[in-house]
Amino acid sequence: MDIGRRDNNGRKTLSQINVTPFVDVMLVLLIIFMMTAPMLDQGFDVNLPEVADSPGIASKGEALLVSVYKKGTISVGQSTIKNPDKLVPLLLQIMKDRKEKEVLLEADSAVSYGRVMQVMAAVRKAGINKVGMVTQPPKP
């Protein structure tokens, strides 16, 4: 079976598609995808849920609840502290035996944004990267 045909000079021309450039382009695209995919995982440190339609936060009981009250006091489990700097050693002690390093942060609506950010900074300083904000649905 003859795939090509002969031209006037006696040379044979091929009528097959050369897939080598296609494979080269696909390999380059694969390498680009492999290099950029880990970078896509970066994002915001805190995902705030939508308050109006948010379902309850599904927790396996592994997340630690950190509460910031109206007067600025901070509660972690049974412990209550006033200074966010003392929160770091407390969190390190609590989280040393935990497999999942997650914190749920709930703050009173009257607490200043700066105070909440101080608590979040202390949580991050303790090496906890997963922080969830606890909210409640609006009252009808």
Convert the pLDDT of each residue in 28-74 to its tens digit. 999 999 888 877 654 333 333 345 554 444 445 567 888 888 877 88
Q: 26 and 73 in one domain? A: no
Q: 27 and 55 in one domain? A: no
Q: 90 and 128 in one domain? A: yes
Q: 69 and 23 in one domain? A: no
Q: 79 and 10 in one domain? A: no
Q: 96 and 122 in one domain? A: yes
Does residue 71 belong to any structural domain of this protein?
Answer: yes
Print the domain residue range for 16. 5-40
pTM over 0.75: no
Q: Which two tokens stand for residue 118?
A: 């101080």
**Rounded Cα gap, residues 130 and 64, in angstroms:** 11
Alpha-carbon separation of residue 36 from 33, 41, 42, 43, 131 (angstroms): 5, 9, 11, 14, 25
The one-letter amino acid code at 100 reads E
